[in-house]
Amino acid sequence: MPVACVTGASKGIGAACARALAAHGYDVALTFASDREGAQAVAADVQGAGRRALVRALEVRDAEDAAAMVEEVEEGLGPIDALVSNAGITRDGPAVRMHAEAFAEPIAVNLTGAANVIRPVARRMARRRGGSIVAVSSVVGRAGNAGQANYAASKAGLVGLVRALARELGPRGVRINAVEPGMIRTRLTDVLPGDWRDALIARTSLGRLGEPEDVAGPVTFLCSPAAAFITGAVLATDGGLAL
């Protein structure tokens, strides 16, 4: 059976991706930063779908820990056929007033952390001459957003990483793409003031916030053989959000 690995899988988009991949026949490794209970609950859903699950804590900023995780997953479940690089954080605020550490943290997690996981997976996929990687970027990386300069930079950089790696990995049969969610109903959007949320919905062609499952579907497609001729693509999953 195919094996998928989803980082940041304890809640939101990552959890929805893990469940969707299990529903499509993948055994799933789920990583988490702090919410072990959430990851274990998602793993129970994966097992309820008849698939195997492996749960592991991961500090994506630690390249050695990321490499060890990949090795443990392949020993426990088998070769990774699909990777969903989803782990991410925000540290919002005006850039000119932000401490250097706060500015750097989303870049360290969302961009460097993604690369720390992608690189060891890609090396193994390249040796096997096959596999699919999907990185979760953001509409903010394309359009920017006041108070999120660090987050926007991290997500824009992630798109650049994906497009460069698509050129490097394509000759070895490895595909890498990105999805670019808009405003998705997660713990991050739940704390938005109601008037902000209403304004965002008004600028969305479909007239609603997205759900994590709205992202999980395109991610699962990009992981699958149905997307065998797609690499280096950035798929907007934003409901037609006008920014």
The per-residue pLDDT of the chain, averaged, comes to 94
- Reply yes or no on whether the pLDDT at 12 is more than 70: yes
Name the band, by pLDDT with cuts 50, 70 and 90, for residue 191: low
The amino acid sitting at 209 is L
* pLDDT (average), residues 8-30: 98
- Reply yes or no on whether the pLDDT at 243 is more than 80: no
Q: Model confidence over 200-209: pLDDT tens digits? A: 889 899 999 9
pTM score: 0.95
Indicate whether 242 belongs to any domain: no
To the nearest 10°, report the CA torsion of 31, 34, 37, 40. 10
Indicate whether 182 belongs to any domain: yes
Q: Are the CB atoms for 88 and 8 separated by under 8 Å?
A: yes
Counting Cβ atoms within 10 Å, is residue 103 exposed (0-12), middle (13-18) or buried (19+)?
middle
Separation of alpha carbons 10 and 18, rounded Å = 9
Instruction: Identify the CATH number of the domain in which residue 90 sits.
Output: 3.40.50.720
The residue from 151, 215, 219, 227 that is catalytic is 151
Separation of alpha carbons 243 and 236, rounded Å = 13
- Reply yes or no on whether the pLDDT at 190 is more than 80: no
**Alpha helix stretches (DSSP H) within 24-78:** 36-48, 63-76
Starting at the edge strand that comes first in sequence, how are the strands of the sheet with 234-237 ordered?
53-57, 27-32, 3-6, 82-85, 131-136, 174-181, 234-237
Q: Model confidence over 50-108: pLDDT tens digits? A: 999 999 999 999 999 999 999 999 999 999 999 999 999 988 899 999 999 999 999 99
Number of domains in the chain: 1
- Give the domain extent around 185: 3-237
Indicate whether 65 belongs to any domain: yes
Question: What does DSSP say about strands 174-181 and 234-237: parallel, antiparallel, or unpaired?
Answer: parallel
Active site residue 151: yes
Indicate whether 243 belongs to any domain: no
Q: Model confidence over 92-131: pLDDT tens digits? A: 899 999 999 999 999 999 999 999 999 999 999 999 999 9
Please name the residue that has the structure tokens 């991706």: 17
- 134 Cβ contact list (under 8 Å, min separation 6): 82, 83, 84, 85, 176, 177, 178, 179, 219, 222, 223
According to the model, what pLDDT value does residue 44 have? Answer: 98
Separation of alpha carbons 52 and 225, rounded Å = 21
Indicate whether 99 belongs to any domain: yes
Indicate whether 80 belongs to any domain: yes
> Is the model more confident about 185 or about 213?
213
